[in-house]
């Protein structure tokens, strides 16, 4: 009896010992597995930190290069010379802006970011107005308002009475007056050459899809049509270039985001909205009630052979954030014309190589050869009536395309896909 009891006791002890050993083994295995996953997680976390650090370094490298890019550029860089971390940078012009696509590779991990970039305005772009010196003053009437520094001719400013109304305010300008030159600050010619080259990228005619989104890291999609082109009931986004050899008409049922339009004539129907860069040689017409968000641009570059006066017309009650620019390739008397309608609000930059008719408000900077005011049957040169230029209302973080000779590091305008 005693032997049987001892035998059962020893069996129980052995069983418990085996169970304990199994439990200890399982716990040990779990601890090893947890340690492995923890170590692996730490490595992935460290690799993620390194990826983000390398990405930040690559972005700073791109922004530090203030040379204006023409065409495309691809670079492959070993940032720290260790062979384990590589950076691939693709850059090109996209309308007025630069676009950079950066991919950072760390062993088997990768991180990609794409962005548009430009310059923070300073110098003459830190004021509300640069008016070419034509030896005549700028006449102000009605609710005309200047807030910010202004580069003007020796004649300065003067209040006038027109259309049965005098000047409404006690002071002519809230800011300092500086002396302008007899020509506008020059836009870098390489930018103009880049803009005029888009129409040469036409290939075979293609239909316009109902929906298309193309990443900037992928090659550009060129949609070309010979003859007038109408864009309606479609959504086009990203790295998409739309070309017509005659005209493009955009309906308000079309959604455009960061695409580029190139044609001699471009027209936007009332109520259009989106983010768009439109490049034309003859005219751009934006009908009333349109809303184009930052960073949009409207550009007309006058061809050498044109006998017409190229123009940009923005109707009443429009909102626009970005750059409006007209330029002539050679000096001639037939300059360009820009017209901004009543109650329209422009945020950013207007550069007019010619005559500017302004009836709305500009939060930012205007550079123009002349102001023009029509009061039938008369036309008045360098008269500003019931219009407002306000530089102090523009954010200190606002970035414009690098149109001039910028020496400071560039800034990111917009993250894109």
User: Could you list the pLDDT tens digit for every one of the 417 residues in the chain?
Assistant: 555 555 555 666 666 776 766 776 666 666 656 555 544 555 556 667 888 888 898 899 899 887 666 556 766 666 555 555 688 999 999 999 999 999 998 777 889 999 999 998 989 999 999 999 999 999 999 999 999 999 999 999 999 999 888 999 999 999 999 999 999 999 988 888 888 888 777 677 788 999 999 999 999 999 999 999 999 999 999 999 999 999 999 999 999 999 999 999 999 999 999 999 999 999 999 999 999 999 999 999 987 767 789 999 999 999 999 999 999 987 766 789 999 999 999 999 999 999 999 999 999 999 999 999 998 889 999 999 999 999 999 999 999 999 987 778 899 999 998
**Looking at the structure, do residues 215 and 130 belong to the same domain, yes or no?**
yes
> Which one of 83, 118, 153 terminates a domain?
118
Alpha carbon of 151 to those of 131, 138, 186, 407: distances in Å? 6, 11, 15, 21
Q: Which two tokens stand for residue 113?
A: 């970011």
**Looking at the structure, do residues 287 and 382 belong to the same domain, yes or no?**
yes
Rounded CA-CA distance 116/179 in Å is 34
**Looking at the structure, do residues 243 and 350 belong to the same domain, yes or no?**
yes
- 75: three-class secondary structure by DSSP: strand
288 in any annotated domain = yes
Go through 24-44 and write b for each residue having 16 or more CB atoms within 10 A of its CB, e for each that does not.
eeeeeeeeeeeeeeeeeeeee
> Which one of 118, 142, 173 terminates a domain?
118
**Looking at the structure, do residues 150 and 248 belong to the same domain, yes or no?**
yes
Query: Cα-flanking dihedrals φ and ψ of residue 202, to 5°?
Result: -60, 140
**Looking at the structure, do residues 180 and 86 belong to the same domain, yes or no?**
no
Report the alpha-carbon angle 401-405-408, nearest 5.
80
* Cis peptide preceding 297, ω within 30 of 0: no
Rounded CA-CA distance 400/325 in Å is 12
How many domains is the chain built from?
2
Show contacts of 407-410: CB within 8 Å, 24+ apart: 407/66, 408/66, 408/119, 408/120, 408/122, 409/60, 409/63, 409/64, 409/66, 410/62, 410/63, 410/64, 410/65, 410/66, 410/98, 410/117, 410/118, 410/119
* Cis peptide preceding 39, ω within 30 of 0: no
173 in any annotated domain = yes
**Looking at the structure, do residues 107 and 131 belong to the same domain, yes or no?**
no
Q: What is the pLDDT of residue 24?
A: 66
**Looking at the structure, do residues 92 and 148 belong to the same domain, yes or no?**
no
Rounded CA-CA distance 143/165 in Å is 9
Rounded CA-CA distance 411/118 in Å is 6
Domain that holds residue 75: 2-118
391 in any annotated domain = yes
233 in the Ramachandran plot: left (φ > 0), alpha (ψ -120 to 50) or beta? left
Q: Is residue 141 within 8 Å of 161, Cβ to Cβ?
A: yes
**Looking at the structure, do residues 154 and 84 belong to the same domain, yes or no?**
no
Q: What is the pLDDT of residue 408?
A: 80
72 in any annotated domain = yes
Task: Give the count of beta carbons closer than 10 Å to the beta carbon of residue 50.
Answer: 18
407 in any annotated domain = no
Within 8 A by CB and 6+ apart from 372, the residues are 337, 355, 356, 357, 379, 380, 381, 383
**Looking at the structure, do residues 205 and 103 belong to the same domain, yes or no?**
no
Closest CA to 235 of 217, 219, 258, 268: 258
**Looking at the structure, do residues 197 and 259 belong to the same domain, yes or no?**
yes
**Looking at the structure, do residues 132 and 161 belong to the same domain, yes or no?**
yes
403 in any annotated domain = no
Q: Is residue 85 within 8 Å of 106, Cβ to Cβ?
A: yes
The model carries a pTM of 0.87
- 9: three-class secondary structure by DSSP: helix
406 in any annotated domain = no
Rounded CA-CA distance 400/253 in Å is 28
Residue-level length of the chain: 417
Q: Which two tokens stand for residue 165?
A: 């109304």
- 46: three-class secondary structure by DSSP: helix
Rounded CA-CA distance 20/13 in Å is 10
230 in any annotated domain = yes
**Looking at the structure, do residues 212 and 264 belong to the same domain, yes or no?**
yes
């Amino acid at each position: 009896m005693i032997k049987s009891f001892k035998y059962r006791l020893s069996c129980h002890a052995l069983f418990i010992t085996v169970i304990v050993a199994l439990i200890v083994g399982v716990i040990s295995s779990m601890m090893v597995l947890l340690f492995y996953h923890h170590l692996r997680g730490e490595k992935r976390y460290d690799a993620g930190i390194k990826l983000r650090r390398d990405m930040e370094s690559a972005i700073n490298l791109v922004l530090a290069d203030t040379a204006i890019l023409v065409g495309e550029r691809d670079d492959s860089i070993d940032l720290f010379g260790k062979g384990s971390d590589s950076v691939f940078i693709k850059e090109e012009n996209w309308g007025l802006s630069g676009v950079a696509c950066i991919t950072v590779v760390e062993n088997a991990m990768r991180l990609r970011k794409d962005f548009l970039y430009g310059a923070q305005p300073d110098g003459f772009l830190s004021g509300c107005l640069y008016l070419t010196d034509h030896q005549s003053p700028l006449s102000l009437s009605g609710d005309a308002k200047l807030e910010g520094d202004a580069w003007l001719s020796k004649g300065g400013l003067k209040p006038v009475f027109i259309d049965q109304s005098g000047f409404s305010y006690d002071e002519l300008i809230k800011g300092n007056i500086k002396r302008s030159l007899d020509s506008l600050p020059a836009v870098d010619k390489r930018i103009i050459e880049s803009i005029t080259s888009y129409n040469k990228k036409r290939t075979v005619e293609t239909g316009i899809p109902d929906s298309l989104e193309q990443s900037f890291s992928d090659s550009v999609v060129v949609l070309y049509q010979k003859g007038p082109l109408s864009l309606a009931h479609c959504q086009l986004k990203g790295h998409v270039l739309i070309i017509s050899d005659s005209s493009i008409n955009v309906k308000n049922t079309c959604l455009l985001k960061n695409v580029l339009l190139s044609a001699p004539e471009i027209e936007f129907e009332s109520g259009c909205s989106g983010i768009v860069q439109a490049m034309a040689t003859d005219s751009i017409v934006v009908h009333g009630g349109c809303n184009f968000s930052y960073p949009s641009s409207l550009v007309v570059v006058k061809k050498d052979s044109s006998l017409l006066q190229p123009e940009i017309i923005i109707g009443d009650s429009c909102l626009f954030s970005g750059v409006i620019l007209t330029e002539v390739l050679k000096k001639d008397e037939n300059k360009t014309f820009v017209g901004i309608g009543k109650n329209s609000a422009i945020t950013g930059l207007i550069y007019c190589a010619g005559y500017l008719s302004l009836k709305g408000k500009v939060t930012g900077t205007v550079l123009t050869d002349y102001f023009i005011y029509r009061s039938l049957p008369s036309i008045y040169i360098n008269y500003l009536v019931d219009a407002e230029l306000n530089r102090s209302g523009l954010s200190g973080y606002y970035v414009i395309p690098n149109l001039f000779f910028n020496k400071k590091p560039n800034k990111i305008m917009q993250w894109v896909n």
